[in-house]
Structure 1
Amino acid sequence: MILLDKPYVSKFLKETIVKYEFPVIDTGNVTEHGELSLISSDEIVQKFRDNPDSRIYTNSENSINWVVNHLGFTRLPDYINIFKNKIEFRKLIQSMYPDFFFKEVSLQDLDEVDLDELPMPFIIKPAIGFLSLGVHKVVDESDWLKVKALIHEEFTDAKALFPIEVVNASSFLIEEVIDGEEFAFDAYFDENGDAVILGISKHLFASDKDVSDRVYYTSKELIKTYLPSFLGFVKDLGNAAELKNFPVHVEVRVDENGKLIPIEVNPMRFGGWCTTADLTYMATKLNPYHCFLTNVKPNWDQVLEEMDEEIYSLVILDNSTGIPSKEIVEFDYDTLLARFCEPIELRKIDYKMYSIFGMLFTKTPKEKFVEIEEILVSNLKEFVL
């Protein structure tokens, strides 16, 4: 079963729903009338009462409130809270990473934080958040003053866009900086609690201070390299939380010694805005939505054997121009597309509402990867009017 909600449902997810006739409800009025054959909330509730091993996927954490209100008799609300609340997540894995520093602080107590008690630099993020909203790296005292002001500004705007279950500014997590390269992967746990990985991507950054979501990419080489260690971690995670019939989107860092430290785990979904699952399909022909909902465990040896050697990237065109989105008249998508060898799909976003111009999926030969490196560091000013 699938819950659909704002902000975005991809064409690929809709096609998957139609092809496999997955039961679906629209909790956010994001589909056109008659576009999909919808069922009632009562039907989904009854399916879970009849079969505790039922599975449900949502494209957006906006649907969390629906799950809590309608499926409170299942373990789903407990699973969601463990991962959606980053404080609870750190407590869950504390025994796995006993030396890792983290601290909880409320919004109103930010001015009372004693920097002498914190590792410098450090990361601050909302205990419950979405995308990179409210996530900042602090390197010194003057930086801290700027970050506090930014946090207050960001959450004033965010409360008008997202429900309280998605963005809750009452509590923040301060934690030590996790060194290493960053990765994201989608996975699920079956009815026995066994872990299944459904795709791996690498998150690129423009600089040491960059915390944006501009570029993710995947490739045959990348998946082959990291699949064993990531599977080992997610197995331990599933055992710690006793997860069953549950999808997750995991973000980790791997240091120069190969040590993996998790950043966060997002519940009930794969990458937000239908991103990483769709990217996986483009690169591997593996459909993560179908795999989870029908209990398919990929034969990764075969998948990797059939993959090409190209690099498949997701470029998130966030507004980094320094110009308020409401003051931008137009974004030149044609000029943007001309910069890439093989654009696969462009998804235009209402940037005046979400401060994101769009999502671009590309296919790039290894020798042309400079096109990805260039968009990674671009402030996108050259594309706006």
Structure 2
Amino acid sequence: MILLDKPYVSRFLKETIAKYNFSALDTGNVLEVGELSMVNSDLIIRNFRENSNSRIYTNSENSINWVMNHLTFTKLPEYINVFKNKIEFRKLIQTMFPDFFFKEVLFQKLDDIQLNELPMPFIIKPAVGFLSLGVHKVVDKEDWIRVKQLILEEFNDAQALFPIEVVNASSFLIEEVIDGEEFAFDAYFDENGQAVVLGVLKHLFASEKDVSDRVYYTSKELIKTYLPKFTQFVQELGERVELKNFPVHIEVRVDASGKLIPIEVNPMRFGGWCTTADLTFLATKLNPYHSFLCNVKPDWDQILSEMDEEIYSLIILDNSTKIPSNQISKFDYEKLLSLFYNPLELRKIDYKLYSIFGMLFTKTPKHKFKEIEDILVSDLRDFVLVEPH
């Protein structure tokens, strides 16, 4: 069963629902009338009452509200809460990572923070958040003054866009900076609590201070290298909460010595906006939605043997122009596409609403990886036209 909600349902997810005849419910009026055959809420609730191994997937955290209201008799609300609140998550894994510093601070107490009591640099993020909103790296006292002002501005904007379950500004998590390379991956836990990893992506950053979501990529080499380590971690994590029949999207860092430190676990979904699962399919032909909902475990040896050696990337075209979205009259998508050797899919987004111009999936030979490095550091000003005053 699948809950569909804003901000985005991909063509691939819709095709998956139709192909496998998955029961789906539109909880956010995100589909056109008659676009897909929908079921009613009662059917989903009845399935969960009659079968404790029922599975449900949400493409958006906006649907969490529906789960919390309608499936209170299941374990799902408990699973969601332990991961959705980043402070509860840190407490959950504290014994796995006893030396890791973290601290909770209330939104209205940001001005009372004593910097000499914190590790410098540090990361501050909302206890409940989404899409890098309010996530900042602080390197010194002057930086902290700037970041506090940014947080105030971001949350005034965000609360008009997302439900309170998604962006809750009541408290923040301050934690030490996690060194190393960053990765994201989708996984699920089966009816016996066994962890199943559904792909591996590397998250690239433009600089030390960059916390944006501009580029993720996957490849045969990447999956082969990190799949065993990530599977082992997810298994240990799942056993702490006794997770079963549950999908997650996980972000971690791995330092130079190979030590893994988790950043966060997002419950009930894979990557937001139908991104990571769709990229995994493009690169591997594995359909993560089908794998989870039909309990089909990937044969990674077979998948890797059939994969090519190219790099598959997800490029999130966030508005990094420093120009307010409501002042931009056009984004030149054709110019953007001309810069890439093999663009696979472009998704145009209402940038005046979401401050994201679009999502681009690409396939890149290793010797042309500079095209990915270039878009990673671009402020995208070359692609926008500004409305005349």
Range of TM-score over shorter length: over 0.9
Q: Tell me, what secondary structure is at the counterpart of 1:330?
A: strand
What residue identity is the alignment partner of 1:175?
E
CA shift for structure 1 position 162: 0.0
Q: Which residue of 2 aligns with 1:375?
A: 375
What residue identity is the alignment partner of 2:315?
V
CA–CA distance in structure 2, aligned partners of residues 241 and 323 of structure 1? 44
CA shift for structure 1 position 29: 0.3
Residue 300, structure 1, aligned to residue 295, structure 2: no
Q: Which residue of 2 aligns with 1:217?
A: 217
Give the alignment of 1:185-200 within 5 angstroms.
185-200=185-200
Q: Which residue of 1 aligns with 2:243?
A: 243
CA–CA distance in structure 2, aligned partners of residues 358 and 349 of structure 1? 5
What residue identity is the alignment partner of 1:376?
L
Q: Which residue of 1 aligns with 2:125?
A: 125
The number of equivalent residue pairs is 385
CA–CA distance in structure 1, aligned partners of residues 261 and 302 of structure 2? 29
Q: Tell me, what secondary structure is at the counterpart of 1:184?
A: strand
CA–CA distance in structure 1, aligned partners of residues 351 and 243 of structure 2? 37
CA–CA distance in structure 2, aligned partners of residues 33 and 336 of structure 1? 32
What residue identity is the alignment partner of 1:40?
N
Sequence identity (%): 78
- After superposition, the CA RMSD in angstroms is 0.3
Q: Which residue of 2 aligns with 1:272?
A: 272
Give the alignment of 1:36-51 within 5 angstroms.
36-51=36-51
Q: Tell me, what secondary structure is at the counterpart of 2:212?
A: coil
Q: Which residue of 1 aligns with 2:353?
A: 353
TM superposition outliers: structure 1 runs of 4+ over 3 Å: none
Q: Which residue of 1 aligns with 2:310?
A: 310
Q: Which residue of 1 aligns with 2:89?
A: 89
CA–CA distance in structure 2, aligned partners of residues 79 and 268 of structure 1? 9
Q: Which residue of 2 aligns with 1:253?
A: 253
Residue 113, structure 1, aligned to residue 116, structure 2: no
CA shift for structure 1 position 177: 0.2
CA–CA distance in structure 1, aligned partners of residues 357 and 176 of structure 2? 32
CA–CA distance in structure 2, aligned partners of residues 344 and 71 of structure 1? 38
Q: Which residue of 2 aligns with 1:15?
A: 15
Q: Tell me, what secondary structure is at the counterpart of 1:25?
A: strand
Q: Tell me, what secondary structure is at the counterpart of 2:336?
A: helix
Which structure 1 residue ranges, 5 or more long, are not aligned? none
What residue identity is the alignment partner of 1:324?
P
1:181-200 deviation digits (Å, cap 9, x = unpaired): 00000000000000000011
Q: Which residue of 1 aligns with 2:328?
A: 328
CA–CA distance in structure 1, aligned partners of residues 295 and 95 of structure 2? 30
CA shift for structure 1 position 49: 0.1
Q: Tell me, what secondary structure is at the counterpart of 2:172?
A: strand
Q: Tell me, what secondary structure is at the counterpart of 2:308?
A: coil
CA–CA distance in structure 2, aligned partners of residues 15 and 31 of structure 1? 13
What residue identity is the alignment partner of 2:255?
D
Which TM-score applies when normalising by structure 1? 1.00
CA–CA distance in structure 1, aligned partners of residues 90 and 261 of structure 2? 11
CA shift for structure 1 position 88: 0.3
CA shift for structure 1 position 241: 1.1
What residue identity is the alignment partner of 1:76?
L
What residue identity is the alignment partner of 1:257?
S
CA–CA distance in structure 1, aligned partners of residues 148 and 42 of structure 2? 44
CA shift for structure 1 position 178: 0.1
CA–CA distance in structure 1, aligned partners of residues 128 and 98 of structure 2? 22
1:228-253 deviation digits (Å, cap 9, x = unpaired): 10001000000011100000000000
1:32-90 deviation digits (Å, cap 9, x = unpaired): 11111100001100000000110000000000000000000000000000000000000
CA–CA distance in structure 2, aligned partners of residues 276 and 245 of structure 1? 20
Which structure 2 residue ranges, 5 or more long, are not aligned? none
CA–CA distance in structure 1, aligned partners of residues 182 and 314 of structure 2? 15
What residue identity is the alignment partner of 2:311?
I
What residue identity is the alignment partner of 2:185?
F
Which TM-score applies when normalising by structure 2? 0.99
CA–CA distance in structure 2, aligned partners of residues 318 and 291 of structure 1? 30
CA shift for structure 1 position 308: 0.3
